[in-house]
């Protein structure tokens, strides 16, 4: 294994997951095993939303994310309870109107504010890892001068953190809506009036420590998942900024699950275009007698499942040295090199 690959799969490359401590590694392996080894046919979205990932990230930013997101979710629920309480007789239309409150821009802004610091860190880490990886594989100092400048990286992180946090906010609202519809639907079936339905929601958010912790755990799972995805996205965007990366391969982590092994078998040496996903949303990945439907999103790179430690490796264009040198000349304001006929 060359230096670049050794770095990518090292503990240093995954600080967001706190892999240095043995007890956390054991928790992570157990959670991954639970996520990928039970049913013969599973859906990726179920793994992401239902897996018990444990408390793997010992980070103040993670707790800030979880606290901020869960706070917004509780405030949304309280507002919905108040809206339902004002209705004389609850109907399905009452519920639909109340749920529209989840989509108000103020909630999106508050969710983004809670998520953005953590997403910014993940993006910056991924971008810096991406450039470092290319430099090590290219074995050329000149590569250090191409790609994003520090100002361009800062702008990228600012824009991408807001965009990705906004996308995640939609998923958080979806989760909140599903839970509240279940609560309200159960109450309507039991013939509860508006006051009783509102009290049911208020009890859920105010009195049940177990459900409050469920909300917090859900926020932590979202944080881990999306931070890993953001880091991978930024890494590949950093590769793209250099102009010398044409493709990517799947780099298998130690002690992988069968699905990651299947991905590495298919794409470990056969690169896909940098702008193409490894798998499209809806594809079915088969490993032995088990299969997983990749219905969570396109798989542009790891993580394939909760706690996935795999990575991607860039494939450089054949004439990357010439391209890099010409790019540096342009950056320095020098004349292009004369090419002999």
Written as tens digits, the pLDDT of the chain (341 aa) is 433 333 333 333 333 333 223 334 444 444 444 444 445 766 655 555 544 433 334 467 677 777 888 888 888 888 888 988 888 888 778 778 888 888 788 888 888 888 888 889 889 999 999 988 888 888 877 777 888 989 999 999 999 999 999 888 887 788 788 888 888 888 888 989 989 999 988 887 765 455 556 666 766 777 777 888 889 999 999 999 998 999 999 999 888 889 999 999 999 999 999 999 999 999 999 998 899 898 878 999 988 887 788 899 999 998 877 887 887 777 777 665 544 43
Q: Where are the alpha helices (DSSP H) in the chain?
A: 3-8, 22-36, 44-50, 60-85, 92-99, 105-138, 150-189, 194-206, 209-242, 258-267, 320-332
Indicate left, alpha or beta for 54 from its phi (over 0: left) and psi (-120 to 50: alpha): left
Please calculate the CA angle 269-270-274 and round it to the nearest 5 degrees.
110
Backbone CA torsion sign across 7, 9, 10, 13: positive
Give the pLDDT of residue 22: 37
Give the pLDDT of residue 17: 32
Give the pLDDT of residue 324: 78
Spell out the domain ranges in the chain. 3-332
Q: Which of 205, 207, 184, 206 is nearest to 196 (CA)?
A: 184
How far apart are alpha carbons 43 and 18 in whole angstroms? 27
Angle between helices 60-85 and 150-189 (to 10 degrees): 40
CB 173 within 8 A of CB 103: yes
Give the pLDDT of residue 104: 82
Give the pLDDT of residue 204: 79
Name 291's bridge partners: 41, 286
Give the pLDDT of residue 297: 81
How far apart are alpha carbons 279 and 287 in whole angstroms? 14
Buried/exposed code over 316-328 (b: 16+ C-beta within 10 A; e: otherwise) = beeebbebbebbe
CB 114 within 8 A of CB 64: yes
How far apart are alpha carbons 238 and 59 in whole angstroms? 25
How far apart are alpha carbons 224 and 208 in whole angstroms? 25
Angle between helices 105-138 and 320-332 (to 10 degrees): 110
């Amino acid at each position: 294994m060359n230096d670049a690959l050794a770095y990518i799969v090292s503990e240093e490359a995954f600080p967001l997951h706190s892999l240095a401590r043995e007890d956390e590694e054991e928790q992570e392996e157990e959670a991954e095993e639970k996520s990928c080894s039970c049913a013969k046919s599973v859906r990726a979205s179920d793994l992401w939303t239902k897996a018990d990932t444990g408390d793997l990230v010992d980070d103040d930013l993670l707790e800030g994310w979880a606290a901020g997101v869960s706070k917004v979710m509780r405030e949304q629920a309280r507002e919905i309870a108040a809206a339902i309480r004002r209705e004389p007789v609850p109907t399905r239309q009452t519920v639909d109107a109340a749920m529209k409150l989840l989509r108000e821009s103020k909630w999106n802004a508050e969710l983004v504010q809670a998520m953005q610091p953590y997403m910014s860190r993940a993006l910056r880490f991924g971008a810096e890892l991406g450039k470092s990886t290319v430099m090590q594989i290219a074995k050329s100092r000149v590569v250090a001068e191409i790609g994003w400048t520090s100002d361009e990286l800062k702008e990228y992180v600012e824009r991408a953190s807001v965009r990705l946090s906004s996308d995640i906010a939609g998923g958080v609202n979806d989760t909140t809506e599903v839970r509240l519809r279940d609560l309200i639907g159960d109450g309507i079936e039991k013939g509860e009036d508006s006051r009783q339905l509102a009290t049911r929601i208020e009890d859920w958010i105010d009195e049940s420590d177990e459900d409050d912790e469920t909300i917090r755990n859900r926020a932590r799972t979202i944080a881990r998942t999306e931070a890993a995805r953001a880091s991978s996205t930024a890494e590949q965007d950093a590769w793209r900024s250099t102009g010398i990366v044409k493709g990517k391969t799947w780099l298998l982590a130690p002690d992988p699950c069968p699905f990651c092994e299947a991905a590495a078998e298919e794409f470990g040496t056969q690169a896909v275009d940098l702008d193409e996903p490894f798998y499209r949303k809806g594809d079915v990945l088969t490993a032995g007698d088990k299969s997983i439907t990749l219905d969570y999103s396109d798989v542009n790179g790891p993580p394939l499942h909760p706690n996935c430690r795999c990575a991607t490796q860039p494939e450089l264009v054949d004439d990357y040295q010439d391209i890099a040198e010409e790019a540096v000349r342009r950056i320095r304001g020098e004349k292009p090199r004369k090419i002999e006929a």
